[in-house]
Amino acid sequence: MKNHSHHNSLDKIGFQRLIAVFGVILFIGKIIAWKLTHSDAVFSDAMESIVNVISAFMGLYSLHLAAKPRDEDHPYGHGKVEFVTSGIEGALIAIAGIMIIYEGINSLIVGKVLNKLDLGIWIIAATAVVNYLLGYISIQKGKAENSLVLISSGKHLQSDTVTTIGVVLSLIVVHFTKIYWIDSVVALIFGVYIIFVGYKIVRKSLSGIMDEQDPEILNKIIEVLEANRKVEWIDIHNMKIQQFGSSLHIDAHITLPWYYSLRDAHKEMENVIFLLVENIDRNIEFNFHMDDCKPFSCPVCQVKDCPVREKEFVKRVTWTAENVTNLQKHTAD
């Protein structure tokens, strides 16, 4: 119903391109630091950066695709691709975690000496600052534009910052104590943490691919409907919400008085749609089905001067996430 502006998509793509370029620069910096220091913890940080570079470019590709208009082969547009690329990113992060754990265990068995830690500390600390700022801006932009790609890019960058700060602290400790195995243990801890981050990203993207109900969006929609409800809207049920990138597709059944003309009934249905469009900050496509009221609707129908009422009004049914998504029409029972 609302159209995504072309400019908005280009703006997202431009910013994601910036993240990809910075990702490459920061990765090169970390590789140099690893070559100088031979530190496992720095290696773990560089590995996570490779993932950030790959995921930044995949994010860029998926934004390009998601921005394409719907066509004959893709009647719902290309927005779902954001969930797929997010899932692959999460899997890559988990693989990087496994590589880090392998390297850390290897070093604990073999034992190694670290060099040039002072210079390594400065390089890694600088990457942490840049990463954090980029991540913060990316998450804010992603939230403003409902883009899963920008939010997950920002979260990668910020989780990268958390591990990078840990790496810096462990390098400082090793630099002063010369206890080199601390470095490998820190790498192992980060390996486990990174696998967990990857798992969470995969879980979120799978729920989007499988059209899992998003309780936050559903509750917001029901809140708006309940707060602005008209007595003519006897019942709303069988509501389903699908997400396509930042767009929503809403299916629902609305029960209206059976004696309404088709024009009047259609007008009421449009009132519901316009209400949601004004109050939900997303691109929304609607598929509403109109039902006529039956005698069992009378006890929950609030129309006072109904000319054809067959049963007394019993109670007003409060709409909730549970009953609005139910297949059956509401009754007083």
For residue 331, tell me if it sits in a domain.
no
**Averaged over 100-124, what is the pLDDT?**
84
pLDDT at 171 exceeding the cut of 60: yes
Question: Domain ends where: 209, 239, 262?
Answer: 209
Q: Is the confidence at residue 77, as pLDDT, over 80?
A: no
Please indicate, yes or no, whether residues 131 and 188 belong to a single structural domain of this protein.
Answer: yes
User: Does residue 332 fall inside a structural domain?
Assistant: no
Let me know if residue 261 belongs to a domain: yes
Structural domain containing residue 231? 215-324
Please indicate, yes or no, whether residues 202 and 307 belong to a single structural domain of this protein. no
Count of domains observed in the chain: 2
CATH code (residue 192): 1.20.1510.10
User: For the whole model, what pTM was predicted?
Assistant: 0.56
Q: What is the mean pLDDT of residues 252-281?
A: 90
Domain boundary among 151, 178, 209: 209
Q: Are residues 195 and 226 in the same domain?
A: no
pLDDT the model gives residue 6: 52
Decide which of 160 and 81 is more confident.
160
Structure tokens at 332: 């007083």
In a domain, 1, yes or no: no
β-bridge partners, 236: 254
Query: Residue 2's pLDDT is what?
Result: 43
Indicate which CATH number applies to the domain containing 272.
Answer: 3.30.70.1350
Q: pLDDT (tens digit, 9 = 90+) per residue, 187-213? A: 899 889 888 888 888 887 777 665 555
Residue whose C-alpha is closest to residue 124's, from 56, 37, 51: 37
3-state helix, strand, coil in the chain (%, to 5): 65, 10, 25
Bigger pLDDT: 274 vs 59: 274
Are 319 and 254 spatial neighbours (Cβ–Cβ below 8 Å)? no
Q: Where are the alpha helices (DSSP H) in the chain?
A: 6-37, 40-67, 81-110, 117-145, 148-177, 181-209, 215-227, 262-279, 321-324
Residue 25 domain-assigned (yes or no): yes
Residues 305, 171, single domain; the answer is no
pLDDT band at 19 (very low <50, low <70, confident <90, very high): confident
**Do 66 and 137 reside in the same domain of the chain?**
yes
Could you tell me what percent of the chain has a pLDDT over 90? 12
